[in-house]
């Protein structure tokens, strides 16, 4: 338990150091460029030199990759103008280069309120750039396992990726727990019931329901192996893919649409003791998820 820091606890820079081949990372628009948010000072808020988004190129098990990593502890990892523009630029470069896949380390609560318009535009531009890259044959994979999770516009972007890996601590959704409770009432969703939050949006559930392809342990080594695997098995992006996705989503809602809770979904999936899933150790859960998976798909 001592030694290396966990993925969850690490900063974005520490994750990149743990994920990529040693000394292979070259940063684009690094902190020394001081491309900071033009909006935050207006609110008397401190800026960060990289605006919470690190982009660059590196090698991952000797493969050349483009990488982006969000700092979840700065402004909740939320998208702002510069933050978003860096990721847009990276994805457009990926499209133009064509031969380098992209790995995105998500850790975001969505769009920064202080930069709402710029942030929302950025989400849209990123989604477009991501899909153009995929159309050009570039795999774009996402890794999710940080404190902020992957919410709001981040969740939408993740949904556009070729494939995703998520850890137990990771969460993927669009609306956050508090927003759901405010809009639908505490009976519908008690945001303080953290076990419920993780059952609904957390990594294990996403893996079981097909919202992520791989389940990673909360460690650098595990995410590294997951990233390598996702890149190796990334599916092509064609009309056939989209049609299969549509079919899978229709089947999914037909099968689980009446379930009250994730536990019911897991039982329907064929998990022998659904209540034991949250406490299940990593290796056992991976084996279970692999066993239950009916067919490979590019849909989440």
Partner 1 sequence: MEQLNYRHIALSRAKGSRLQAVVGVVASGDLEVLVERTLPDGECEVDIRTPITGFGDVWRAVVADFVQLRSPGGLKLSVNDGGARPDMVSLRLAQAVRAVAGDRV
Partner 2 sequence: MRDTGRRDRDQRLQAGARHAEGKRVHRQNATALLEAVIRPGDRVCLEGDNQKQADLLAVALAAADSATLHDLHLVRSGVVLPEHLDVFEKGIAKRLDYAYSGPQSARIARLLFGGKIELGAVHTYLELFARYYIDLTPQVALIAAVSADRHGNLYTGPNTEDTPAIVEATAFKDGVVIAQVNEIVDTLPRVDIPGDWVHFVVESGKPFYVEPLFTRDPAAITETQILTAMLAIKGIYAPYGVQRLNHGIGFNTAAIELLLPTYGERLGLKGKVASHWALNPHPTLIPAIESGWVRQIHSFGSEVGMDEYIRARSDVYFTGPDGSLRSNRAFCQMAGLYACDMFIGSTLQIDLKGNSSTVTVERVAGFGGAPNMGSDARGRRHPSQPWLQAGKEADPDGPAALRRGRKLVVQIGETFGDQNVPLFVEHLDALNLAEKLHLDLAPVMVYSDDVTHIVTEEGIANLLLCRDADEREQAIRGVAGYTQIGRERDAAMVQRLRERGVIRRPEDLGIDPLDADRRLLAARSIKDLVHWSGGLYAPPSKFRNW
Closest by alpha carbon to 87, among 123, 136, 38?
Answer: 123
Using the rule CB under 8 A, which residue among 35, 50, 51, 168 binds partner 2?
Answer: 168
For residues 82 and 53, the answer to whether their CB atoms sit within 8 Å is yes
**Interface pattern 72-91 for partner 1 (x via CB under 8 A):** -xx-----------------
Q: Cβ 53 to partner 1, closest distance in Å?
A: 13
What is the pattern of x (binds partner 2, CB under 8 A) and - over residues 176-215?
----------------xxxx--x---x-x-----------
Contact flag: residue 26 with partner 1 (CB under 8 A) = no
Do residues 300 and 210 touch, judged by C-beta distance below 8 A? yes
Helix (H) or strand (E) holding 168: none
Q: What secondary structure letter does DSSP report for 22?
A: T
Nearer to partner 2, 279 or 283 (CB): 279
DSSP calls for 159-228: HHSSEEEEESS-BB-SS-HHHHHHHH-TTT--TT-HHHHHHHHBHHHHHHHTS-SEEE-SSHHHHHHHHH
Cβ neighbours for 126, distance < 8 A, ≥ 6 positions apart = 84, 87, 88, 91, 153, 157
Footprint of partner 1 on 174-233 (CB under 8 A): none
Site string for partner 2, 8-27 (x = CB under 8 A): xx------------------
Q: Give the residue carrying structure tokens 């329901």.
A: 209
Distances (CA, A) of 33 to 17, 23, 80, 119: 21, 20, 17, 21
Looking at the Cβ atoms of 37 and 200, the one nearer to partner 2 is 200
Per-residue binding string, partner 2, 259-288, x by CB under 8 A, is: -------------------xx---------
Strand (E) or helix (H) holding 125: helix 116-135
Number of chain residues interacting with partner 1 (CB under 8 A): 16
Q: Choose among partner 2, partner 1, none what residue 4 binds, the Cβ cut-off being 5 to 8 Å by kind.
A: partner 2
Residue 23 lies near partner 1 (rule: CB under 8 A): no
Residues in contact with partner 1 by the rule CB under 8 A:
11, 13, 30-32, 41, 44-50, 71, 73-74
Residues in contact with partner 2 by the rule CB under 8 A:
1-6, 8-9, 168-169, 192-195, 198, 202, 204, 278-279
């Amino acid at each position: 338990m001592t030694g290396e820091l966990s993925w969850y606890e690490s900063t974005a820079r520490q994750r990149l150091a743990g994920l990529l081949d040693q000394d292979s990372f070259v940063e684009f628009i690094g902190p020394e460029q001081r491309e900071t948010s033009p909006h935050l000072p207006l609110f008397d808020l401190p800026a960060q030199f990289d605006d919470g988004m690190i982009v660059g190129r590196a090698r991952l098990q000797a493969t050349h990759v483009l990488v982006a990593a969000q700092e979840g502890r700065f402004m909740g990892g939320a998208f702002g103008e510069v933050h978003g523009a860096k990721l847009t630029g990276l994805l457009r470069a990926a499209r133009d280069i064509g031969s380098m896949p992209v790995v995105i380390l998500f850790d975001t609560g969505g769009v920064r309120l202080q930069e709402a318009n710029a942030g929302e535009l950025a989400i849209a531009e990123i989604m477009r750039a991501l899909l153009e890259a995929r159309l050009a044959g570039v795999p774009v994979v996402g890794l999710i396992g940080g404190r902020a999770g992957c919410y709001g516009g981040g969740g939408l972007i993740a949904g556009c990726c070729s494939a995703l890996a998520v850890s137990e601590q990771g969460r993927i959704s669009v609306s956050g727990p508090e927003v759901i409770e405010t809009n639908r009432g505490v009976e519908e969703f008690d945001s303080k019931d953290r076990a419920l939050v993780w059952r609904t949006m957390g990594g294990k559930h996403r893996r079981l329901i097909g919202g992520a392809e791989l389940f990673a342990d909360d460690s650098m080594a595990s995410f590294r192996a997951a990233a390598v695997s996702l890149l190796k098995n990334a599916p092509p992006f064609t009309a056939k893919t989209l049609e299969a996705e549509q079919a899978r989503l229709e089947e999914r809602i037909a099968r689980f649409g009446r379930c009250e809770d994730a536990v019911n979904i897991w039982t329907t999936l064929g998990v022998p003791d659904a209540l034991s899933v949250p406490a299940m150790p990593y290796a056992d859960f991976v084996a279970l998820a692999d066993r239950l998976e009916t067919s490979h798909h590019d849909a989440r």
